[in-house]
Amino acid sequence: MASTLSRTSQRATWSILIKRWDQRPFEVRNLFNPAFCALVLFRALQGYEEENPDGMPFSLVLLVLPLCLHKDSREVISASPRSYLLKTVENNPQILVGFADHTTNLLPFAFEALGLAMQLGCFVVTKDGALRTIPNRVRKTVAGTAESVTCQRVARIVGKEFARIADRVTIYTTFGIRP
């Protein structure tokens, strides 16, 4: 019964968040633009494939936007790009505060971005359920405002680190989320 209530409340929350494009607040349209979110996710997938060409598991893709779009998390990760992600989280526990909620709140935007990227043929889903990029579908050049460039670079770092860790349970547990 409790799981049914939580699913119902999640659907209600998502229907409030995901409105028709012209009914969304200006800030939401800019920050959670599906094309930009898809680009951030694509950069993470590319980073993952640098270490593991088999592709990123779908469940890990859902953690990318909260890490890359949340300013505090992004700044911590970009400040130590050569450090191991697990060590970075251990040394900066403040990025864990509210992370599970950020992740839940960004799920609808992640799904919307994945849908757009899939429609545009930017990635494929392997028979194992991993997401793998399709070459030459997105420019290799990382461009845009300073903040959007940082989001894309952090996404690559996050993807690469997820591949190095290579264990979804460890990653989810590190960020305080039950797998």
- Tell me the per-residue pLDDT of 43-57, one tens digit each, with 9 for 90 and over: 999 999 999 999 999
The domain total for the chain is: 1
User: Is residue 75 a part of any domain in this protein?
Assistant: yes
Q: What is the pLDDT of residue 24?
A: 78
User: Is residue 83 a part of any domain in this protein?
Assistant: yes
Question: In which residue are the tokens 């349209």 written?
Answer: 29
User: Is residue 53 a part of any domain in this protein?
Assistant: yes
Degrees (nearest 5) of the Cα angle 146, 66, 161? Answer: 85
Does position 29 have pLDDT exceeding 90, yes or no?
A: no
User: Is residue 149 a part of any domain in this protein?
Assistant: yes
Q: What is the pLDDT of residue 93?
A: 94
- Residue 139 sits in which domain range? 34-174
Q: What is the pLDDT of residue 80?
A: 85
**Global pTM value:** 0.86
Does position 36 have pLDDT exceeding 90, yes or no?
A: yes
User: Is residue 17 a part of any domain in this protein?
Assistant: no
Residue 20 to residue 112: CA distance in whole angstroms = 12
User: Is residue 168 a part of any domain in this protein?
Assistant: yes
Structure tokens at 73: 């998390």
Q: Are strands 123-125 and 130-133 parallel, antiparallel or unpaired?
A: antiparallel
3-class DSSP state of 56: strand
| E strand segments, 65-179 | 123-125, 130-133
Q: Averaged over 135-161, what is the pLDDT? A: 91
